[in-house]
Each structure stands twice: as structure tokens, then as C-alpha cells.
Amino acid sequence: MSSRRQFIRSTAATGTLLWTSPLGIGFGQEKSSGSSSNTTRSRTATGENVVATVHPIASQAALAMFRLGGNAVDAAVAAALCLGVVDGHNSGIGGGCLILIRSSSGAVYAIDGREKAPAASSPTLYLRNGKPSVELSQTGPLAAGVPSQVAALHLAHSKLGSLSWSALFEPAIHAAQDGYVIGNATSSTIKSEFADILKFEASKSVLSSASGQPLAIGETLRQTDLANTLRQLAKAGPEWFYTGEFATRCAEYLQSIGGVMTKSDFANYKAIERTPLDSKYRKHRVLGFPTPSSGGIHIAQMLNILENFDVAQMYRESPARFFHLLAESMKLAFADRAYWLGDSDFVKVPDFLTDPDYAAKLAKKVDLEKAISVAGHGNANATDESKKHTTHLTTADAKGNWVALTSTVNTSWGSKVMVPGTGVMLNNQMDDFSIAPGVPNAFGLIGSAANAVEPNKRPLSSMSPSIVLDENGKPFLTCGAAGGPKIINATLQNIVRCLDLDESIDKAIASARVHQQWRPDLLYVESGLGGLRIPNATEKISVKEGDDSIARQLASMGHSIRPVNSIAIAQGIQATSNGLIAASDPRTDGAAMAF
């Protein structure tokens, strides 16, 4: 057996991959050498160096970097690369990411690795016979923006990483070359997207069985082309990706099947540093990501609204009213999002959105007894198809480095286009633009001209990596989530629960959530809230006399309730007197680990 495959064991029960690397890194053990509770499916972990991701193999990759003496940035990069292999329906090097870092020196970095529209893009790119075609922005060669994750990860590593660039790739290379056992999340997304996957030969060859069926739970997914791509990246660096062989191969293939991306689009792409948003809530500072993220702005805006209320007292007196207040704050913020937000390199995003005085005016619109109607700035309507995508990971180390990293290929398996011979699945991030006024994207979100398609423009994002500092300026909390626009509201609720309700991050993440995004005018409510049963698609929620469940109370206040199984998938870290606590969302099979 080769040195790269000294010891491998995969199990369908845990989805783990076990190996011992040539560097001596034990990767994928049933228990880590940190906290005794750190099994591969542990939802919480306490220690000096911690990680939480959506997949145990990625969390183990981060732990391997800590064992080598790496810091939180090294661990985060390794985990992100590994997630692109074992959680490829959500993220990967064919997509992009936003990274928020608070370094041990106290410096804060916001690294923008959002994809860009190709230079040949235009507002008419997705019009056919004068009508917008959302299919073109969601599937196929026109759906992809210029991949940007590699550039962002390299920029983060070049600034703060301590291990070699190549060392960070080893877990991902092993997972791709030797394979891992498919779990429910990967299997279900392959099945749901299989009709479109079949349209592209490379995608079909990787994600289907020998009999031509979708790969199923318990089968092993091996990605040898992706492993070779990762080896080239590890050896030659991002130049190979943006100006070398990959750029050439990708551009030529996309143009051969009707795309417009060119080698110049790759060569001209740069990850850039943004000025982090810095707002105050109660006695804490909340660091967020600026545009092209909408999350940072609107989390700050909603917290500013909530600052006008005694949220803790309200929760003690009436949990239903607490959730009602959250929903109304969300509604007001998302109405602003639809009109004002876009890439600030192209449009002027007004400063007043994060102004406490503006929030105080919005707070006065809130009726604590009933839901209000928010007209917004237009007559656009939208639908929500409950799409899920994206992944969030977080790391922190004993030196005081904290990382919040959200990564995505947009909807499941992105554009469904895999570049032949590379194993790289391309994003469908162009759908995050407003392809036409009033036309909703895959997540039911609408936008205005501020987020229209333009050459070299970054589409608006819901990614919301956040870090909270205590009154002494020390890192206290970090959190983020996956799940389209639900990311913003899930992150908000985790911050509010920790700061207002004094909950620990693991309890906050596990608690039931609500979601309101203005259009459609629905209040999404997790089934765990008030024990509400999930209805069928046509069933309406009615208020029964004497029924005092939280969901029924919200319905009686005028909210149109839409029960759902889960709202977003979150990860977080909190500083406590006992050390750092990492928490992974129990809604999926992630893992928190410590060393």
C-alpha cells in the first residue's frame, strides 16, 4: 500500500475517512486527542484550539493542522478545502467565499472572495425573446461567475498562515483520491439535481454509479481528477488556477458549450480586503462583512432596531412576542435589502442603513400586538422554493486568532457544470444577481438595478460571517450559517440569544428559529417551535381556540405561518471561563472538535 494510503477505513454509519498521512497526521480517528467528548459526531467541544464545520472529515482536517502547530487560519483553509471534497454540493474551489478574521494582534480582516461576472456579461445576458430565463442563470455555462475561493484562501494564508501552503491541501487530497462514504446530504442533493447533472458528461461520470443511477447513501465517492487538481494547486499555487492550465481548460470548455467566460476573466480576478463593518449592540461590538454581503449590513440594522426594546424581558414574558419582534425587524430590513443593496464598487450603498437613528424610526413602525404590512420600494413579488446551499465553518486558537468563513457554489452542485479532467464543479452565482426587475432568484429574493448584472460585478450575497467582541475588545463569539437568505436571520438569532438571553452558543444554535424575508410575506417557523406539526404543501395554519403554542400565537398576530423542518445550518464558537466552546448545528451531521 502506498504511503498516501497507509491506513484507510470508511464507514457508512459515520461518514468518516480514516488515514495516517506521510506527515504522521492522524486524520479521522473516532476520537481526537483533545476533549474526551470529541467523537466524529460531537456537536460541542471545549479546548484551546477549536473548530466547527458541517462535516466531520473537514473538522478533522482542521484538527490535523492544529496538531502540526498551525493556527486558526491554517485550520480554516484546510477545512474549507476539505469541505469542497466531502461537501461539494455546498462549496468548493469552483465557488467563492467570504472570510472574516480577528487576529491575535487585534487586527480585523474582511477578505472578499466573492465571484465576479465575466467581462462579457450584460443586463440582457439572460433575456430570451425579451423575457428573463432563470434557467440560464441557474444551470449551465452562463450560470457561473469567475471562481474565487482559491484566491481568497491564498490571501488569508499569505497574511496570517503559519504552515506551508501545500500542507493545507493534504487532507483534501486524501479525501478526494481515496474517497469517502456518501451520507444523506450528498445523496439527496445528487438525486434531486440528477436530471441537470446528466446534461454534463464530467458531472455525470463522477456523480453516477456504473449503472447510471445517482450515487446513493453508503457508496464511496472517489474524485481522482479533483485530487490531481488539488495537487497542482498545492504545488504551483493560485497562479496555476488563474493564469495557467486550469484557467485555459475551464474557459475553453465553457465557451465550447455556450459560455462567455474567458482566460482574461480568470487572470483579472483578485480577492480583495474590505473594511469590516463595526457596529455596537448593548455592550458588545459586532464585526460583520460589508457588501457584496448583505448580511453584515442587515444584521447591524436589525440589532439597531432591537436595541430599542428590552428583548430579554420580552422573552421572559412572552416568547411569542419575542419571535414576533424578530420577524418584524427581519421584514423591515429585507425590504431595504431588495431596493438598496448591490456591489458597492458599482453602486452607492447608503450609510443610513446601519445608522441607529434610522433604526429607531423603523422600530417605531413595529406593532408589538400584530404584524405590519411593509410596502417596500417597489411592487415586486417573489416566491421561495426553500433551496439550501452554502456552508459555514469557524476556527479559533489559543493565541487569539478567530476565523469565520462562509463558502458557497450557490444552489446544490452549483451550475451542475464540472470542467472535464479537473473534477471542479462550477458555481451558479450569477443567479444571485437580479437578472430582471421583480424576478425572484432561486431563493425567492428579488432586487433592483443596484444588483443588476454588469461586467466584473460581484453579485449580492447573504453570507454573514460575524465576530462579536466583548466590552474589553476581546473575541467573545463568532457565528455564521448556511441556507440562502435564512443565513442572515439565523446568525441574528444566535447573536441575540447569546447576548440578550445569556445562552451558550451551543444552546443558541440548537434552539428553534423563525425567518421572514419580506417577499414572500411568510413567517417560516421551525417545527420545534411550539411543537407544530409539518403540514402538507396546501394545508393552511389555523388558530384553534385555546391553543397557546407559540406558532399559533404568531398566527393570531397576523403572521402567515409556513412550518419547515429547519431554518439554516449554523456553526459557532464562544469564549468562556472554561476555554473556547465550539458548536455545530444538530440539524445536520457536522462536528465540533478541539485540540
> What are the catalytic residues?
390
Cα separation values, 529 from 54, 58, 371, 564, Å: 23, 31, 18, 10
Main-chain phi, psi angles of 468, to 5 degrees? -110, 130
At 461, list the grid cell: 450575497
Cα 150 to Cα 157: distance, rounded to the nearest angstrom: 11
Place of cell 439572460: 126
The answer to whether 260 and 121 have CB atoms below 8 angstroms apart is yes
Cα 93 to Cα 424: distance, rounded to the nearest angstrom: 7
Which H or E run includes 80? helix 72-86
CA nearest 96: which of 292, 357, 233?
A: 292
Cα 579 to Cα 318: distance, rounded to the nearest angstrom: 33
Give every CB contact of residue 50 below 8 A, 6+ residues apart in sequence. Answer: 395, 396, 573, 580, 581, 582, 592, 593, 594, 595
The answer to whether 90 and 434 have CB atoms below 8 angstroms apart is no
CA nearest 247: which of 385, 389, 93, 128?
A: 93
Dihedral angle sign, alpha carbons of residues 411, 568, 440, 340? negative
Give every CB contact of residue 481 below 8 A, 6+ residues apart in sequence. Answer: 392, 406, 464, 487, 490, 491, 494, 568, 569, 570, 571, 585
Burial of 319 (0-12, 13-18, 19+ CB in 10 A): middle
Cα 93 to Cα 84: distance, rounded to the nearest angstrom: 6
CB atoms within 10 A of CB 56: 26
Residue 391 CA, distance from chain mean position: 4
Cα separation values, 427 from 128, 317, 343, 448, Å: 22, 46, 18, 22
- Residue 543: DSSP 8-state: P
